[in-house]
Amino acid sequence: MIFLDSSDPKEIQDISAWGIIAGVTTNPLIIAKEAGNVDLEKRIREVLAVSKGHVSVELTTETEAEMLAEADRYIAWSPGRVCIKVPFSETGMRVLHQLATRGVPTNVTCLMSFNQAYLASLAGATYVSIFSGRVQDMGYDVRPIIEETRLILDREGLASQIIVGSIRHLMDVNEALQSGAHILTVTPPILRKMLWNPRTDETIREFNTAWAKRGG
Ligand code: E4P
């Protein structure tokens, strides 16, 4: 499955028309880059209106009480569709467990290791987000992290789904899927790279030119 890693309603609407987008992930950095000082509620409501499936909205506070209050504010925008993105930490684990116990969809984010993904899955995360590009920035191979996580989820019958995010190259897409990711979250530019091939364009041009020039 593919999620869109974006908060841009126009891009989300355009790409949703391809029929391949099962959900949306946002984060504070994406929203700040795409929309600056936008009102978060307005932006997320716009995203909800043009998408389907879960829309992940990330917590930005850092104490347990603040995070739970922040989560409740976001959930109210569309219960069942807003998925609370919980940054992974000890406090995050407590928040995650409480939200999961209430049946709130959760996406545990900023995961860099198998151990972290395993703990988040045990606590009831709907999604565990492994950050491919950022793991590779540290000089590690992300494939065994995804493979080991998928293995333990399947072996222990844990319900979490692995999202691989922080995708920077097409090879990251291929490797994540081959390693057992359930879902990829990709930015619009990566998605457009997935569909583009110069030989395809050239071939279509050749066919259409021949058709236009045909005699009779
Ligand atoms: C995933 O949910 C995140 O939004 C995202 O993929 C983070 O990636 P980055 O390394 O591009 O910030």
Mean pLDDT of the chain: 97
Domains and CATH numbers, the chain: 2-202 (3.20.20.70)
- Pocket of ligand 1 contains residue 166 by CB under 6 Å: yes
Q: What distances in angstroms separate CA 124 from CA 49, 99, 107, 118, one per listed residue?
A: 28, 9, 10, 10
One-letter amino acid at 165 equals G
Side-chain-facing half-sphere of 193: CA atoms under 13 Å: 13
**pLDDT value at position 193?**
96
pLDDT tens by residue, 136-174 = 999 999 999 999 999 999 999 999 999 999 999 999 999
Residue numbers annotated as active site: 85
**pLDDT value at position 216?**
62
**pLDDT value at position 215?**
77
SS3 for 14-77 is HHHCCCCEEEEECCHHHHHHHHCCCCHHHHHHHHHHCCCCCEEEECCCCCHHHHHHHHHHHHCC
- Pocket of ligand 1 contains residue 6 by CB under 6 Å: no
- Pocket of ligand 1 contains residue 172 by CB under 6 Å: no
- Pocket of ligand 1 contains residue 187 by CB under 6 Å: no
**pLDDT value at position 20?**
97
Residue among 58, 55, 42 at smallest CA distance from 12: 55
- Pocket of ligand 1 contains residue 179 by CB under 6 Å: no
Q: Which is the closest atom of ligand 1 to the Cα of 30? A: 4
The CA 72 to ligand 1 mean position distance, Å, reads 23
pLDDT band at 189 (very low <50, low <70, confident <90, very high): very high
What is the pTM (predicted TM-score) of this model?
Answer: 0.96
The CA 183 to ligand 1 mean position distance, Å, reads 13
For 72-96, what is the mean pLDDT?
98
- Pocket of ligand 1 contains residue 138 by CB under 6 Å: no
Q: Kindly state the helix (H) or strand (E) to which residue 202 belongs, with its residue range.
A: helix 198-213
The CA 129 to ligand 1 mean position distance, Å, reads 9
Pocket residue to mutate for ligand 1, from 56, 131, 168, most atoms within 8 A of Cβ: 131
pLDDT tens by residue, 7-25 = 999 999 999 999 999 999 9
The CA 201 to ligand 1 mean position distance, Å, reads 30
The CA 68 to ligand 1 mean position distance, Å, reads 22
